[in-house]
Structure 1
Amino acid sequence: MRLRPHVQLDHIILEVTESVYLGRLADEIAGQIRKLRERGLRVALDDFGTGYASLTHLLTMPVDIIKIDKSFIDQLGPLEPACFIVEGLVQIAKKLGIRVVAEGI
């Protein structure tokens, strides 16, 4: 990745969806993202919760931030299943040192 000399990677957040990590180039892409993270780039996993294996991806993907999909946020309310799911995701992310963003607020 070529950047202008005055742009520092720690000022950039790369947003990706889970689909970036799927397919035959997934390992290569993950490796490139890991290298950029080592240089300070932060990675946000967008639309979290709508993919095929979101929790598994937290174990295998280099990610600093998860952005919980708006479809969960729109259904938040006391005693609603979406509330329990989001609460659990926030707790998991916290234990893994991953920041959480709620989309659509």
Structure 2
Amino acid sequence: MKFALITAIFLSSIGLAQAASADKGQALVEKANCASCHGAGLNAPILPAYPKLAGQYADYVYYALRAYKVGNTNAQFGRNNAVMSSQVQTFSDADMHDIAAYIATLPGNFVVKK
């Protein structure tokens, strides 16, 4: 019984994760003008303090956006950045998934050193 329940939850979560739309995410990124700080293709930040986003894992981007939205209300999960906190307040959970899906499709130049 437990196995069937866990399997059903797992399979339903896969379907939800695939429901994110990179096209909708692109429109949201353009509307929010994310490139004004994160640079062209979200891969050339205007200041070294701003991260490169292109090519980042979708789940990482989603949880980072959620943490900015939570802000100071949860010290263990929230992220405190005035600019990002104000940017994400208007985004729904689905919007953040769409944005993350779009960012994951962008070609990035992250290097993994061994």
- TM-score per shorter chain, which class? under 0.3
Q: Which has the higher contact order (CA 8 A, sep 6+)?
A: 2
Structure 1 or 2: larger strand share? 1
Give the structure-1-normalised TM-score. Answer: 0.26
Structure 1 or 2: larger helix share? 2
In our comparison, the structure showing a higher alpha carbon Rg is 2
Give the structure-2-normalised TM-score. Answer: 0.25
